[in-house]
A and B are shown apart, each in its own frame.
Chain A
Amino acid sequence: MKKIIIILSVAFVALSSCQSLKEEWDPVFTIKNEDPAAFVPYTEATLPGFAGEFTTIQDLKALYKGGGVEIAEALWIRGQVISSDVSGNIYRELYIQDDTGGIDVKIGKSSLYSEYKIGQWVYVNCKGLTLGAYNGMPQLGMAPDQTTTNEYETSYIDEWGIINSRIFRGEFAEPLAPVEVDENKLKMALAAGYTGELWGKYVVIKGLKYDNQIFALVYPNPNLPHKSTNPENRVFLSDKGTWNINTWALSKARYINAVQVGQFDTAEVGSGNTRYGPITGKPSEYLSDGKVLGSFGRDADLTYKEIMVKYATANYVSHYFTIGKTSVQVRTSGFAKFADDVLHYDITDGGHTCDITGILSLYSGSAQFTLVDEPSVSVKIN
């Protein structure tokens, strides 16, 4: 009997000690998980593979020659974070700035503010990344998608293996103060075009005057094609003042309400030289059979207004301001938490100028502003 007991015991111990994952007992014996070690910021000394000097952002931008450039050699840049997506007005991109300039690093992830704090140093190993531009604005991303529909010079840096091997979060530091910009500096930057030092920088422009003009492009059905080659799915809100839009942008709810009360009834479907008619009409009235079938087949007999409500989403709005004779548009996302905040009456009535702080960018030869913080912080009424 002793032998039997020994054999059974040995068999039991042998079988019960087989473990494919050696840590399988961890959760059994862990009543409370220990807190992990605190995040350790990267420094020049700890950057993997860094053995040289940093290139300035301005020198990096200078590599751009009118088309996307894949950076094949070792090239590191560093800069301090100047953007935050906490308010929702910036999405899937991070702006960093050094002494020479700022650049949009297209990290294609949301809620970047959770890990990239304003003022924090960020190091970027640019090897394998692509320098490009969007409507003239410099961007650092990945090689463009090789799809027939792609029209960008870069794509997002959104694959985790690439993010972790290219972008390193460094020490926390005091946030940068905005660069003060007057009309002359702005004109110089516009004249310099892509290489203008101001683009991508955190700036404040003082003395801006409201121009009673907005620009917005809405897509009746955002799920359908809406590029310039699809004018049947585009409605421009421009050239007619503000369209009674007195908020920084249009949240979904605000957009639906505006459409339903007829605020945009005179807006035309179409773009460029192709204009179909007001949004009170139907695709079946405006489009040839093939186009209707291809684009709006399901909703061909709804009015565009009804389609806009059915597929409503938040929409950006650009409000125009001027400094001297130079125009600056302040572009706000409909997903921003302050999208439905009303522009202060003192601004819109033209009685007061204002100072606006944000990130300055180039958009098709014009200056464009993106607010980082809420207007109560970013916009100061004079």
Chain B
Amino acid sequence: MKRILFALVALAACLTLSAQEYTGGVKGIVVDRNGRQPLENARLTLLSGAQELAVIETGEDGSFLFPNLDNGSYTLVITAPEFLENQVQVTVNDGYVKNMFTLSLTSIQKVADIDDDSFAAFDLDDSGYNDNPTILFGSNDVFNSIAGYNFSSVRFRARGYISESQEVYLAGVRLNDAITGYSPYSLWSGLNEAMRSKESVNGAEVSDCGFGGYNGLTNIFGDASSVRKGLRGSVMTNSTLYRLRLMASYATGPMDNGWSFAANVSARLGGNDWIDGVYYRSLAYYFGADKVFNRNHRLSFAFFAAPGERGAQNASTQEVYDLMGDNMYNSNWGYQNGKVRNARVRKTHEPVTFVKYDYTPDDVFSASATVLYRFGKNGYTALDWYDAQDPRPDYYRNLPSYYYGNIDGDYVADLNRNNPDKYMTAKNVWSHANMYPELTHINWDRIYNINRMQEGGRSKYVQEERHVDQNDLNFAASFKWRASDAVNVTGGLSGRINKTEYYKQIADLLGGEYFVDIDNFAEREYASQPWKIQNDLDYFLEHGEARKLKVGDKYGYDYNAQFRSVGAWANGHFVIENLSADLSGRIGYESFWREGLMRKGLFPGVPTDNDMVSKWEAAGVEYAGPGAQSSYGESEHLGFLTYAAKLGLNYVIGGTQRVYSHVGYFNDAPRFNQVFLSPRTRNAIMDGITPTRTFTADANWQYSGNGINLRASVYYTQIKDQCKVMSAYDDIQNAFSNFAITGIDQAHSGFELGFKVPSYLVDDLYVQGVFAYGKNLYTSKPVMTQTVDNSAEEVMKDVLLPYWDLTYFEDGTVQRHHVPSTPELATSLGLSYSFNYWFIEADVEYFDNAYLDMSPLYRTDYAVAGLDNNPTWEEMAYMTTQEKFDPAFLLNASVGKSWFIKRKYQLGFSFNAKNILNNRNVKTGGYEQTRIVDNTVSNERFYRFDPKYFYMSGFNYMLNIYFRF
């Protein structure tokens, strides 16, 4: 009772805050860490040692005050519904009221998490296309919380940016892949409880833990004390990816002895309703421990991984989908002995461990440092074959269109294909897939029997496992210093050593006894030069024959991508009454190179000693001229100075509105996978590599009050001098080809609106929605160099892509080309109702202006001009137009309820139904094949190969049942 009285007194004191002067006390404002909005009714408990002195709640503007405190050290515990608990140490000296300024709480996700598991693993191989969506976290930013969950089904990318531009941190360490830039969510798939606590900033905002880029930054805490206290268990079933998820977690929370422990395990198992052959057999485990020493020091440790297998989906052409009557057809699987087997399976076990040290000597300064290490295996299986027929069921020569040349169903005589008997038979096969599973899916039985028939047991087909195995050591340190009431300074240092080994190994000999390590493509041209077709020339020269491979042996290629970086950043936060400004800068240096571990016959380099010279000459190895390009040893070391600067302005109007803006400029290094022409075969680097330069600016208005939550933003971003390498089989060169493109510029501009407002008709009924409209355009005409794996010669050198950004039409109009794979118009309007632990939500969504990923080959003068080198308007329009996807309309709903049992246990469920209208014709992505049809009647023009598409699932659901105490 004393405490309650004390609290009431404190509350009363709080209400008359402005009218009185105090001697000794603590005051401040509690805000949401995301968005910095004040939190009303947050609960603050003041402790002196273990003794609870007072409990108060924040006012409407988030402010609080503990008056009349003696000098001394106190512990302040802050809690709020749907936020993680926070504790801070505070010292009262000399009878002053200590101003804590803002104390932030991190929100807990209310809706189901969107993580890497939410998206099918698309089998894009090394096509150069990237279909990764941006993962938006449903933080208290109203736009993200709605778009993050609702738009995941169409693989929405915020502002059209590639997902690599979204910076993802773990325990303060930037974890985007060092080689590709990909976000690393797959490392902790299934560990939703352990990784639930996170903080995010949007756009070009600066976070406390890092400088960030132009597409937001998310820092996942990952330490034991950030895991929600208690025992939790859940079972989940869904119909789009895996059938069953079992998850359990336990966390002690901070204990009196300073320790915190947490553990989380899960299993994701089964297939789904929509994509045959896709399955999960994945586990996940996490263990974390924290220890607080002497109040000011905290040491955290965590170790986790998500080992498992995941079957992948493949894209097919519309012809295949139409014939199968199924836009979700997956060509990756087939029956083996009557059981489903997928040829493309991702097999990973990449543990991550970190040690983090936090130092908080007082409430003015804090610092932390983290050492993080990632290691393990990351494999991806695929079929490989030597001197055998292509086993893919949807290989273009197996389809009806190969026997009847048509474009969009209309016969085109110029395509030089017309054989009615074959066409009708092929059409019959594909239209009756159930009767011909051996032709419409991978025919594993046939593959085994072919291997068994070979003399000596030499496999013609094997299942290979392509590995990308990382050894990634990271260090990051950051500090936060409140220099004065008006100035806060944050900053940090980082360093990274990454060695990623790329290789493939034999995963399954498929009934054979061995496979031979030679280059299938090279053999077609250099059969009479056996040294030249060797994948491992050194082995060949030593043993006089190619290596006979068994399961587990490396073959084909083997190289390290080496990456090093160091960096430093700082941010000054300046406050003048309602106006605050952030001025920040980052500088760093990145270096990377290729280190070949296998000497390929086509690119032996030059001998390094007399012994090698004599061996090579005895075998006839040619090492002058083009062959001097080396597959072995280190390439040139590329180094880039990187730097960036940001300015942010923030103006608070009253207690409910905020106007803020950011401007940023970034000079970033290209990534390893963007600059090596053919890293599997040699050290060659594309010419004209320059850093990527990005300018970004946004302006935002946020309103939060009276139950209304609203954010409106406009943005403009210009990205210049990007580069990339794509690989594909080139029918004209009859070889595997690499297309290196430099000078890709793009501009993104648009408007975002997110809102949640009371209905004013029914209590607790809200109207919520999102409107995102942008234009993400290519703005340059890049240049392309084409090489082939079989030769060091350049097929095309610095060829302009005049139609990369525009298609010109005869009537004088043009089509602007867009950054692909995300809708530029994405809208959602829905209702949200919660009452007595029920929640019900429903929304309608509309998406439009999504575009197909473009092939650079089709945007050359060469492709447009055709065989006769005479471009026509018709050829130009046909070859260079970018396909726009049809708009999509979706209806989703979700419902949930929880019950308390004996006031201690909580049982609940959530049920989400997506795409209730069962719209099965929504393209979520796809790409043009980089192949040309050149065998025509007229010999005047070229034709495209049909593009490949990915589609969204039809009606799907997710039921999650959880138990907590």
Residues of A within 8 A of B (CB): 1, 4-5, 8, 11-12, 15-16, 18-21, 23-28, 30, 33-39, 86, 88, 109-111, 114-115, 117, 128, 142-149, 155, 158-162, 164, 223-225, 251-254, 293-295, 297-298, 313-314, 335-341
Contact = CB atoms under 8 A, between A and B. Distances in A.
Contacts of A253: 525-526, 528-529
B274 A20 contact: yes
A21 B328 CA distance: 13
10 cross-chain pairs, A with B, having the tightest CB-CB distances, nearest first: A24-B271, A297-B869, A340-B528, A16-B237, A36-B445, A39-B449, A337-B527, A159-B422, A26-B340, A161-B425
Contacts of B413: 147-148
B411 to A, nearest CB: 11
Given A8-B909, A28-B281, A294-B868, A16 B244 contact: yes
Contacts of B243: 16, 19, 24-25
Contact of A114 (B419, B438, B453, B911): B453
Contacts of B511: 35-36
22 contacts: A11-B959, A20-B274, A24-B279, A25-B279, A26-B339, A26-B340, A27-B311, A36-B337, A36-B444, A36-B448, A39-B452, A88-B527, A111-B388, A115-B453, A147-B417, A147-B937, A162-B422, A294-B939, A297-B869, A298-B869, A314-B525, A340-B527
A164 B387 CA distance: 21
Interface of B: 235, 237, 239, 243-244, 269-274, 276-277, 279-281, 309, 311, 336-337, 339-342, 345, 387-389, 397-398, 403, 413, 416-422, 425-426, 428-429, 436, 438-439, 444-445, 448-450, 452-454, 460, 511, 523-529, 732, 734, 862, 865, 867-870, 899, 901, 907, 909, 911, 934, 937, 939-940, 957, 959, 961
A258 to B, nearest CB: 14
A12 B961 contact: yes
B585 to A, nearest CB: 51
A88 B526 CA distance: 12
A15 B959 contact: yes
Nearest to A85: B387
Nearest to A251: B528
B240 to A, nearest CB: 11
Contacts of A38: 449, 452
B421 A128 contact: yes
Given A33-B341, A251-B528, A159 B336 contact: no
Contacts of A336: 527
A176 B397 CA distance: 33
Nearest to B428: A161
A9 B281 CA distance: 23
Contacts of A11: 911, 959
B420 A158 contact: no
A142 B272 CA distance: 42
A15 B237 contact: yes
Contacts of A128: 421
Given A1-B907, A35-B511, 8 more contacts: A12-B961, A28-B270, A38-B452, A111-B389, A145-B419, A160-B398, A252-B525, A297-B869
A36 B336 contact: yes
A147 B418 contact: yes
A57 to B, nearest CB: 23
Contacts of A16: 237, 243-244, 270, 959
A339 B425 CA distance: 37
B548 to A, nearest CB: 18
Nearest to B271: A24
Contacts of B907: 1, 4-5, 8
A149 B413 CA distance: 10
Interface core residue of A39, A128, A335, A338 (most chain B CB under 10 Å): A39
A49 B867 CA distance: 48
Nearest to A28: B281
A297 B403 contact: no
A28 B388 contact: no
Contacts of B450: 114-115
Q: Which residue, of A21, A110, A111, A341, has the highest number of chain B Cβ atoms within 10 A? A: A21
Given A111-B388, A114-B450, A297 B909 contact: no
Contacts of B237: 12, 15-16
A148 B274 CA distance: 43
A36 B422 contact: no
Contact of A298 (B239, B388, B865): B865
A162 B439 CA distance: 11
Contact of B273 (A20, A25, A88): A20
A294 B732 CA distance: 18
Nearest to A21: B276
A225 B270 CA distance: 54
B734 A33 contact: no
Nearest to A253: B526
A115 B388 CA distance: 10
Nearest to A339: B528
A293 B867 CA distance: 9
B388 A114 contact: yes
A149 B937 contact: yes
A297 B870 contact: yes
A15 B957 contact: yes
Nearest to B958: A15
Contact of B270 (A25, A35, A251, A314): A25
A150 B50 CA distance: 94
A8 B339 contact: no
Contacts of B280: 28
Nearest to A112: B389
B418 A145 contact: yes
Nearest to A36: B445
B525 A161 contact: no
Given A16-B243, A18-B273, A26 B452 contact: no
Contacts of B387: 86, 110-111, 114
A21 B271 contact: yes
A1 B867 CA distance: 76
Contacts of A145: 416-419
Contacts of B429: 160-161
Contacts of A341: 528
B949 to A, nearest CB: 20
A142 B387 CA distance: 25
A20 B326 CA distance: 13
A165 B834 CA distance: 63
B799 to A, nearest CB: 12
Nearest to A116: B453
Contact of B527 (A24, A297, A339): A339
B376 to A, nearest CB: 20
B445 A27 contact: no
Contacts of B937: 147-149
A153 to B, nearest CB: 13
A36 B272 contact: no
Contact of A155 (B309, B419, B911): B419
A142 B239 contact: no
Contacts of A339: 527-528
A101 B552 CA distance: 48
Contact of A12 (B274, B277, B867, B959): B959
A271 B425 CA distance: 40
A147 to B, nearest CB: 5
Contact of B422 (A8, A35, A142): A142
Given A115-B450, A148-B937, A225-B939, A293 B389 contact: no
A26 B309 CA distance: 13
A30 B527 CA distance: 40
A18 B955 CA distance: 13
Contacts of B340: 21, 23-24, 26-27
